[in-house]
Amino acid sequence: MPWIKDSTYPCPRFLTNGHLQTIFPALFRRVPVVTDVRERLELDDGDFIDIDWFRPHHPSDKLVVLTHGLESTARDSSVQGMARAFALQGWNVAAWNFRGCSGEENRTLGSYHSGSSGDLGTVLIHAMNVTSSRKVALVGFSIGGNITLKYLGESSDAVDDRIVGAVALSVPCDLAASALELEAPGNRIYMRRFLQTLETKMIAKARRFPGQVDASLVRRMRTFREFDDTFTGPLHGFRDAQDYWRQCSSLFLLDRIRVPTLLINALDDPFLGKSCYPTDIAQDHQWLHLETPTHGGHLGFVTFGRKGMYWSEERTLSFLQSPGSF
């Protein structure tokens, strides 16, 4: 499938900087909560996942499952903007929160990580069953996009035939390259923000599981490499950060995807290394479309005057509702 170099994204003139695109929605975008009905899904390991739902007034056989980004929630403006776009088209919308991201600490020592495709699979099966949906789409944001692509690659030819399409936005599909990019001086503000919330969660884990998490190490973390070496990797069964990144990067599974999939990564995304633009894979791929707008930052793609809808939401709908998809 094509590598779409000539993206249709109409970037506003004053937002041609990737950092501005990244920060603008976080500071200024306000989207009413669309998925306002919460369901708690109890898991076999004793933990839980909270799913936020929108159900249309008239029964629908279409379902979209939305997967948010690192240290975000299903109530994030990027997720709710997408939820609104699908709700207006009469879809069932299931926006799930990673373990420990719904406002309540999860119960187990581990929580979620950048390759938690097993949890996505659990949510997906449950959501398909309770809605009796015949046509299902997946949309992932940032790390949620990596999880979505990883899930599809792992499923490959065995993917449920009700899943007919997917879109992944601003995806660090090579986790090692993205972690290195975020260590750059110009990106430290993002690194610090992520680590602050992760550190808070690790301190809570240390209190809840004494002797299993060393709280004295938490404040020393300065990079994802240090944090993932010390906490994320070992707590989730990986040897270290490198092992975790290698096993969880969707980049190495893209060639196995077998449903129509659109990956949108802006060229000015400050979170992404060069290998997060898999042009060589997309050019010879039957199912994967890669679109690389010149601008857009990380989960930006800001547009104005479209009833509050961003370009990324319009593009996602157009791809998933194109002839042959639905």
Residues with a known catalytic role: 142, 269, 298
3-state secondary structure the chain: CCEECCCCCCCCHHHCCHHHHHHHHHHHCCCCCCCCEEEEEECCCCCEEEEEEECCCCCCCEEEEEECCCCCCCCCHHHHHHHHHHHCCCCEEEEECCCCCCCCCCCCCCCCCCCCHHHHHHHHHHHHHHHCCCEEEEEEECHHHHHHHHHHHHHHHHCCCCEEEEEEECCCCCHHHHHHHCCCHHHHHHHHHHHHHHHHHHHHHHHHCCCCCCHHHHHHCCCHHHHHHHHHHHHCCCCCHHHHHHHHCHHHHHHHCCCCEEEECCCCCCCCCHHHCCHHHHHCCCCEEEECCCCCCCCCCCCCCCCCCCHHHHHHHHHHCCCCCC
Dist. CA 107–CA 48, nearest whole Å: 8
